[in-house]
Amino acid sequence: MFDIDLQSRVPIYEQLYKKTIELIIKGVLSENDQLPSVRALAKELGVNPNTVAKAYQELERSKVIYSLSGRGSFISRISDMEIKEYALIDFDESVREALKAGVTPDELKNRIDAVTEKERSAP
Amino acid sequence: MFDIDLQSRVPIYEQLYKKTIELIIKGVLSENDQLPSVRALAKELGVNPNTVAKAYQELERSKVIYSLSGRGSFISRISDMEIKEYALIDFDESVREALKAGVTPDELKNRIDAVTEKERSAP
Amino acid sequence: MFDIDLQSRVPIYEQLYKKTIELIIKGVLSENDQLPSVRALAKELGVNPNTVAKAYQELERSKVIYSLSGRGSFISRISDMEIKEYALIDFDESVREALKAGVTPDELKNRIDAVTEKERSAP
Amino acid sequence: MFDIDLQSRVPIYEQLYKKTIELIIKGVLSENDQLPSVRALAKELGVNPNTVAKAYQELERSKVIYSLSGRGSFISRISDMEIKEYALIDFDESVREALKAGVTPDELKNRIDAVTEKERSAP
DNA sequence: GTGGTCTAGACCACG
DNA sequence: GTGGTCTAGACCACG
């Protein structure tokens, strides 16, 4: 479920952070669902417990999860818009870069369709 | 010209790398233009020559610039298509991220129009 | 193991790069074997950690090794063909040079037999 | 005639050195032929006179050329074997590397034919 | 502990 | 003057 890439240059804790949000969006994780414990997940993934703990802390800071002391971590109620905001900040930036590079808005729109198509067939 | 953000978590050499490509895109730097020498740019930016040298080496490896020994570094001939490719790689990635976050392709297209509009008025 | 020649005009980081590939070819280093840490190898060789780091970065860029953040650097899976390719690029170049120098293909072939014979007796 | 590649990482003086020997082998330059003056060649190639001078010095040190003070530089009588020796030292080394990489002598011989063929069609 | 980035500076080959 | 290599060391993020 939380498959991560240890060889990636993206920090593991960041991958876990994004993966969790992705699982919520996909409906795999829902409001009030309990997350695996730090130690359990760390063991399963073969990573340092501190790394998992850091991801959970970041998720809690962003109000994506909440934790009850001694009981564990749970998915918060989170509006879709909040999640989307994150992705869109990066998106806007990449649009700006592409416009600067001389790509036209229409080319970008075609590109969206191409990527959407590709993701649908091989997600 | 090569304004960089020393506070950023993005490595200075990487900022210089991207900045150079951006300057080419904007037409500020053209084919065969000479870049400032490693030492001159380092002094101007207040960073270590090694840091600038690293950026130049990466740019040369990517064929964005070439250097003539003992003479300096110069902008290579880069096709517009190659320049666009640079920008589109980032764009595609951000599209993928947005789709994962549950943003629909149509929302992204609207977003492109919004950003385009904003850039046109305040570039 | 990683014996290098500090007097050589060949940069140390390049010697380390080639040496690593040579150790893989000889079977001394195999897939997933861990390399000594940057600091440990630097100390052992009496060179600066930055120099070793540069060699490792080049090796990683060439996919000869991979690194797991916070854990260290490891030998990638490289096919025998890939290893041979490395050696043959140099070989082709030396053949071209020899042809330019007026050596005939037959002379080169005889030379191969001579070297092979010599290596067999004193490897 | 002395076409060189300014962008190459091979020093210009070394390219000139090799080029001169190549021209002798091809018969373009023969015993007692006069070489262009340092200044003339430097101007023609658009390089620093010091660079040409260095190449000539190296050629003289290797007895490939001789110079008469005030008159210029001339091609020496040089045996083919002397020239070949240079190339063969590199060749032997590359053969050793290839053997270490597990390439068989027969594969190397086939490779020689392939390179010879390619050079013949596009030198 | 591990690699990544950076500084301040030196020395060198090449031109 | 120009870039390439290297040292000696610091600080940092990640794990």
Q: Is B2 part of a structural domain of the chain?
A: no
Same domain, A18 and A64: yes
| CB B13 within 7 Å, strand E | yes
As a whole number of angstroms, the distance between CA B47 and CA C32 comes to: 38
Q: Does B70 touch chain D (CB under 8 A)?
A: yes
Q: What CATH number does residue B47 fall under?
A: 1.10.10.10
**Total domains in the fold of chain C:** 2
Q: Are residues B64 and B17 part of one domain?
A: yes
Q: pTM for this one?
A: 0.84
Rg value, chain B, Cα: 17
- pLDDT confidence bin for C112, thresholds 50/70/90: very high
Chain D contacts of C14, Cβ < 8 Å?
none
Give pLDDT tens digits for C26-42.
Answer: 889 999 999 999 999 99
**Beta strands at D65-68 and A65-68: parallel, antiparallel or unpaired:** unpaired
Indicate if C52 and C102 belong to the same structural domain: no
What is the domain range of residue B52?
A: 12-75
- Tell me if C39 is assigned to some domain: yes
Residue B123 has pLDDT above 70, yes or no: no
pLDDT tens over chain D, length 123 residues: 888 999 998 999 999 998 998 888 888 898 999 999 999 999 999 999 999 999 999 999 988 999 998 899 999 987 777 778 877 888 998 999 899 888 999 999 999 999 999 988 876
For residue D75, the model assigns a pLDDT of: 93
Q: Tell me which residue of A6, A69, B70, B94 sits closest to D6, measured CA to CA.
A: B70
8 A C-beta contact, residue A89 and residue A102: no
- Mutate which: B19, B89, B94, B103, vs A, most A CBs within 10 A: B94
What is the rounded average pLDDT for all residues in chain D? 90
Rounded CA–C1' distance between A47 and F6, in angstroms: 36
Does strand E come within 7 Å of the CB of C70? yes
Mark which residues 4-23 of D lie under 8 Å from C by CB.
18, 21-22
* Predicted local confidence at residue A47, as pLDDT: 92
Statement to judge: residues A18 and A66 lie in one domain: yes
Residues A84 and A70 in one domain: no
Q: Are residues D61 and D29 in the same domain?
A: yes
Could you check: is the Cβ of residue C45 within 7 Å of any atom of nucleic acid strand F?
no
Q: Is residue A7 part of a domain?
A: no
pLDDT band at C104 (very low <50, low <70, confident <90, very high): very high
Judge whether D1 lies within some domain: no
Same domain, A22 and A35: yes
Could you tell me if C63 and C88 lie in one domain?
A: no
Does residue D95 share a domain with residue D71?
Answer: no
Together in a domain, B16 and B70 = yes
Cβ–Cβ contact A98 with B under 8 A: yes
3-state secondary structure of D52: helix
In a domain, A3, yes or no: no
When mean pLDDT is compared across A30-34, C21-25, C81-85, the lowest value belongs to C81-85
Phi and psi torsions of A11, nearest 5°: -50, 140
Look at residue B6 and tell me if it is in a domain. no
Residue B93 exposed, middle or buried by CB count within 10 Å (0-12, 13-18, 19+): middle
Q: Are residues B50 and B16 in the same domain?
A: yes
Question: Is D104 among the domain residues?
Answer: yes
Q: Domain for residue B103, yes or no?
A: yes
- B85 and B68 in one domain? no
